[in-house]
Structure 1
């Protein structure tokens, strides 16, 4: 049986696996197009205070009830900077994750200055304009009008326009190799690792895409395996703060003095943080409907501050369940670091949305 977490075997697999890219290119936008951004969030008191404290915004109006009432607020509102960030953040995956310069934001309007914690935000953008870039032919320029709404009432809370340079697809396709998304990637030579001769990526994020990819590998020396584009570098917040937020007081995660005399030589990340990063990368490339279960979880190496965690996935099985909304998919997920070394692996079963539900 092939040990996919053997370092050399895994490095060979990474070289052959297609990366499921994130974000949209310039050609994907057209004037008048409206985009309803799937992620949203509930404005929280904790996040608001964390934002204000870490950015040194200490105006008592946003902290104290008496100061807020003195200027006509019933309760301390959320800080406008936090509100702007909470509307901007959910739009990034659809609009600007591909990269490109943030050229500016205009006409920022606070339609309701009394927004308070607990409100759920819905975010929507409309393409106002697209144009070529005369100075950078690999990019185009896109302007969007974005609004943040109270999800319950539909009231517009904040709006703005922003403009970004966005990479064009054609130069990226030329620079990124000749493979077409969804095509299998055969081995160029036998590496002796026992890996299948073909790697087949799914062509999309729905149940049918995973099922069809598996069917393409049937009766062949092939597997459905692919990389996820995003990476997350572990910082002090990830390594030390998150465990303590869950009441995990293990000294491995916050006592540098104690850990100096251990094999890692420093504090290490909580395994569940590493695991969650890897699964988060994977979920970003699928239409998850519901989580079902996990198993065979192993942690293969230390993760410390400064390590960057990436994700790699194999599809093991798909199953029709009779649910018109979703089908069941079993995955094998791997987290690996900037040195292409596996640090976590585990199976996961999830209900994944069907395309024509």
Structure 2
């Protein structure tokens, strides 16, 4: 009788066994294809608070009923960062579990004023474009438009467009003339000189950001500053938070598979990196509502033991209401080696002083 657990016997069995693969390759996607992701996810108070606490997003309106009601919420709502991460996490098995670089995301929007715990999230994605990458013949580049909806009402809760490199089953013949992000080397922009002066807002209210922008206007100056807090990546941020959003990508969970990858180790889920940096930034402002995000990019790997810091540049401020005004920021997350790991623009309504 064969002992399948005998080491030599089992090793021979593994050599002969076919692997049941998960995920899709570049060739499996077609422009216009719509993918309904299953399973969905119920957005819970526990999941929301776990995400917020571990990424240092401590806005009291998302924790306490009195603070929520003061901001015109019916109760502490689901944080937009957790909603975004959950919407993406549900898509991973169908779209990006095979691996490949997360090249960026844009047009992140939240059409509803608030989403509350207990909401059942359903997610679908449409293939917008797919194209070759001649510099990486083992990969192609796919862009999807993803929408997270309320399963009961069909209301859109979160939407965005993201682009990934996706492994090919059959490598593409190449002459090496294209960059990995799909652009040519000649497209790379020259670095602009930094302004002579950095102006720092005196506080975190809308008026402080507007005043800082006024002070910088007409001078060789920018409203820019770094945030003191840092968050070192550990087992919770690298593995637990992605799994809580159903993100099954091997990049976050399989040390064996990632040993020979360019990172040499498992990596932090991009939305954890992003949310951590935004948590640092929000600790220095009076946020009223998130409006949306654009031009999000991930520049290099974040691995266990790396520390995520944040830098902010204030782009403009606009009067949009009595309670809050809209401020547009550029946020850059960076590691302990001062290397940018994430960047993106963000629009948020910032509270005005209650005079």
Question: Normalized against structure 2, the TM-score is what?
Answer: 0.48
Structure with higher Rg: it is 1
